[in-house]
Amino acid sequence: MAGKVNPYEEMKKMVDKAGKTLCIDPGMVEVLKSPKRELTVNFPVKMDDGSVRVLTGYRVQHNEARGPFKGGIRYHPQVDIDEVRALASWMTWKTAVVDIPYGGAKGGIICNPKTMSVGEIERMTRRYASEISIIIGPTKDIPAPDVNTSGREMAWIMDTFSMHVGFACPGVITGKPKEIGGSLGRPEATSRGLVFCVREAAKKTGMNLKGATVAIQGYGNVGAFAHKLIERDFGCKVIAVSDSQGGIVSEKALRYDEVWAHKQKTGAVKNFPGTKPISNEALLELKVDILLPCALENVITKENAGKIKAKISGEGANGPTTFEADAILAKNGVLVLPDILANAGGVTVSYFEWVQNNYNFYWTEDEVNQKLDSVITKAFHEVWDMHEKHKCNMRDAAYLVAVKRVADATRTRGFYP
């Protein structure tokens, strides 16, 4: 692949495009593209061997026109400021597409947690939480899990923030364990929202999901749960899955329970009995009905977009398809369900968790799932209607919905002073 694609520049292209279609003033478009606040922190962490490492972390707050900032925290060696800017911006558009009262934010630490002990990760997490505590809070900015973080890290952040303010403050973070205020249904929420979108897209295109073939790139939380749900609830036939160590493909259906048990035992999906190995790149190009890219950004580019054979691509990952690739997929008749719609289930149930924390009143898992279905289905049809109105692809339509909502809110609030 040629030079690395800058995800922040990709995001700005989409906002520019939406702004022109909506005839938004160029000055307003610049406001919508620009993060409001960026915090870079360099902090020491004591390692298990007694040495000290200085790590760098970020928290970018993009836009709060429609409500408090909201967005995950990721731990990864390739975290950089432009990636975090892009992710914060996507959160603004994602929350606007599903019409929940948040703005976008994102955080990250440059590290490789796979080489760190639990104690080192905890000390790093707590120090990072302390460093960003000056700009987060239950009415200001509510972080959540992302790549290589989970309920465990969220519990440490909630506890650290609570120690700073002197009382238990569950509403400062979402994606927490249920023992300390986490919402039922949150672990599967991103995947559930994704399969709801696939369900609605299948209705629109006349695809019979029972027996439809599926390939899933990325077998972390989102990809694995998507496998479980799309197999169990709709009878789809998952024939290929992959993770960071490679993938597997089979003519027969890969059963979720068996593949997940194998990954839990061995740490990877590779070498699953009765399958052939396949690379992450080749998996994307399989002839399947449904492709679910659930790994990292920029995996579908202008170099490989013409080789994608799926009828529907549901983006479980953030930014898996570049701006140029989008046009190629549209031309070839691939229906792309864009990330800011397709993976918005996670932030939607995070919103439900925050509401429950604020009221100190909690819902059943069925109530959470029903509310999620209602929000995602409504958002899908609003985006579909925009797609038909403007004769554009679904990503352009999603940005039209989102950018209009944020621009309207910004215009209504006005500029201070």
Same domain, 232 and 275: yes
- Could you read off the pLDDT tens digit of each residue along the chain, which spans 417 residues? 345 778 899 899 999 999 999 999 999 999 999 999 999 999 999 999 999 999 999 999 999 999 999 999 999 999 999 999 999 999 999 999 999 999 999 999 999 999 999 999 999 999 999 999 999 999 999 999 988 999 999 999 999 999 999 999 999 999 999 999 999 999 999 999 999 999 999 999 999 999 999 999 999 889 999 999 999 999 999 999 999 999 999 999 999 999 999 999 999 999 999 999 999 999 999 999 999 999 988 899 999 999 999 999 999 998 899 989 999 999 999 999 999 999 999 999 999 999 999 999 999 999 999 999 999 999 999 999 999 999 999 999 999 999 999 999 999 999 999
- Catalytic positions, written as ranges: 106
What range defines the domain where residue 223 resides?
Answer: 189-342
Residue 118, C-beta contacts closer than 8 angstroms, at least 6 positions apart:
none
The pLDDT value given to residue 10: 86
Q: What is the CATH number of the domain that holds 240?
A: 3.40.50.720
Residue 267 — left, alpha, or beta (φ > 0 → left; ψ -120 to 50 → alpha)? left
Same domain, 81 and 216: no
Same domain, 116 and 210: no
pTM of the predicted model as reported, rounded to 2 decimal places: 0.94
The pLDDT value given to residue 3: 59
The pLDDT value given to residue 147: 85
Edge-to-edge order in the sheet of strand 237-243: 276-278, 246-249, 237-243, 213-217, 290-293, 312-314, 335-337
CA distance 25 to 376: 30
Number of domains in the chain: 2
10-29 per-residue burial string, b: 16 or more CB within 10 A, e: under 16? bbbebbbbbbebeebeeebb
Same domain, 62 and 168: yes
CA distance 148 to 128: 15
Same domain, 115 and 240: no
Q: What is the CATH number of the domain that holds 107?
A: 3.40.50.10860
Helix %, strand %, coil % for the chain, to 5? 50, 20, 35
Residue 102, C-beta contacts closer than 8 angstroms, at least 6 positions apart:
66, 67, 68, 69, 70, 91, 95, 142, 347, 351
180 located within any domain: no
Q: Residue 140 burial by CB count (10 A; 0-12/13-18/19+): exposed, middle or buried?
A: middle
Bridge partners of 293, per DSSP, are 217
Helix, strand or coil for residue 33? helix
CB 292 within 8 A of CB 228: no
Q: Which of 173, 197, 228 is the last residue of a domain?
A: 173
Same domain, 194 and 157: no
Same domain, 193 and 163: no
Same domain, 153 and 213: no
206 located within any domain: yes
Same domain, 337 and 197: yes
Same domain, 147 and 286: no
